[in-house]
Amino acid sequence: MMFGCSRRLWCALSFLGAAAGCRVGFAHIGTSSIKNQLESDFRKTKLIVQRNMKVELLPALTDNYMYLLIDEETKEAAIVDPVQPQKVVEAVKKHGVNLTSVLTTHHHWDHAGGNEKLVKMVSGLKVYGGDSRVGALNQKVSHLTTFQVGSLHVKCLFTPCHTSGHICYYVTKPNSSEPPAVFTGDTLFVAGCGKFFEGTAEEMYQALIEILGRLPPETRVYCGHEYTINNLKFARHVEPKNEAIKQKLAWAKETYNNGEPTIPSTLAEEFTFNPFMRVREKSVQQHAGEDDPISTMAAIRKEKDNFKVPKD
């Protein structure tokens, strides 16, 4: 998703000498990297503050998110999927924290592509990941590997399907009643899931239902992309009578039009409007023409891959 020719983007293009109109796109100002920089700059950051942890959402590229995870007790920090390292360094300086770790969900360039540069900018970083294809990897993890970011406890959840080495990171503060966080990369999105590039419907079912779905319902979901509106439009197509979908879509449109992130959601919410987490529901199975959750998962993923997103 992009803001396209929003008023703010028009102003930026005008300043750069491309004020002839939005129809010229970015041809007058150079490469796609400039385009990505502009679009991410006009998407607002968002800071989720809890007593024990902070999470700052850092927009990147056209629709990615990086996440700066801060332990409030020790001021130690980790960055999730730092595809634009300079933004990461600026955020670290702004918060006055000590960046010690990189949490890489998977090897795709728009998630791991900044690792090599970041380790040159910040010395001594531990780079976590579950796949040898992850750039600058020096801490390979597997299912249920644990480590600390300051006083925060991080548990690695192996969720192969989008890629064969995908890891989600579940973060808690011991003895705290505050909501945990899970960084899901391209496995779980708000109202959607990642494409099955290197896996099967059975693996995605295992990831979404048996692993992520068993985390506490109040867990906040921080995903890799701003895909919420299009995902909800597909969810509405699958379950046109689902009021939770209608309400979330209306909220997401308003939020997005204000330039604000639609992330995080919670796992409890996802079970009300995400068709890929609702594959055990009769309404979703009937839409798919299937009678078991794994076949339903396969059917709706195939349908989503070819779905023509309506404009409304």
Indicate the SS3 state at residue 197. Answer: coil
For the segment 4-14, the average pLDDT, to the nearest whole number, is 36
How far apart CA 298 and CA 260 sit, in angstroms, is 32
CB 63 within 8 A of CB 2: yes
For the segment 153-166, the average pLDDT, to the nearest whole number, is 99
Of residues 6 and 182, more confidently modeled:
182
Return the minimum-mean-pLDDT range out of 22-31, 40-49, 174-183, 242-251.
22-31
Residue 2, C-beta contacts closer than 8 angstroms, at least 6 positions apart: 39, 62, 63
Determine how many CB atoms are found less than 10 A away from the CB of residue 306: 6
Percent with pLDDT over 90 in the chain: 86
Of residues 34 and 289, more confidently modeled:
289
- Catalytic residue from among 162, 166, 237, 287: 162
Average pLDDT, the chain: 91
How far apart CA 305 and CA 193 sit, in angstroms, is 11
Percent with pLDDT over 70 in the chain: 87
Say if residue 5's pLDDT is above 90: no
Of residues 54 and 15, more confidently modeled:
54
- Catalytic residue from among 111, 166, 237, 287: 111
Number of alpha helices (DSSP H) and beta strands (DSSP E) in the chain: 11, 15
| pLDDT band of 42, cuts 50, 70, 90 | low
- Our answer to whether residue 131 is catalytic in this structure is no
| pLDDT band of 34, cuts 50, 70, 90 | very low
pLDDT computed for residue 39 by the predictor:
56
Q: CA distances (Å), 208 to each of 191, 228, 230, in order? A: 12, 17, 19
pLDDT computed for residue 43 by the predictor:
86
- Catalytic residue from among 166, 225, 237, 287: 225
For the segment 132-154, the average pLDDT, to the nearest whole number, is 99
- Our answer to whether residue 108 is catalytic in this structure is yes
- Catalytic residue from among 81, 186, 237, 287: 186
- Catalytic residue from among 81, 106, 107, 287: 106
Say if residue 29's pLDDT is above 80: no
- pLDDT tens figures, 192-234: 999 999 999 999 999 999 999 999 999 999 999 999 999 999 9
Indicate the SS3 state at residue 38. Answer: helix
How far apart CA 2 and CA 42 sit, in angstroms, is 10
Q: CA distances (Å), 83 to each of 40, 124, 178, 223, in order? A: 12, 18, 29, 14
Task: Give start and end residues of each alpha helix (H) in 113-173.
Answer: 115-121
- Our answer to whether residue 110 is catalytic in this structure is yes
For the segment 101-125, the average pLDDT, to the nearest whole number, is 99
| pLDDT band of 108, cuts 50, 70, 90 | very high
Indicate the SS3 state at residue 283. Answer: helix
pLDDT computed for residue 40 by the predictor:
58
> Could you tell me the two tokens for 172?
């808690």
| pLDDT band of 41, cuts 50, 70, 90 | low
pLDDT computed for residue 238 by the predictor:
99
pLDDT computed for residue 36 by the predictor:
54
- Our answer to whether residue 225 is catalytic in this structure is yes
- Catalytic residue from among 108, 166, 237, 287: 108
Nearest to 46 by CA among 63, 67, 62: 67
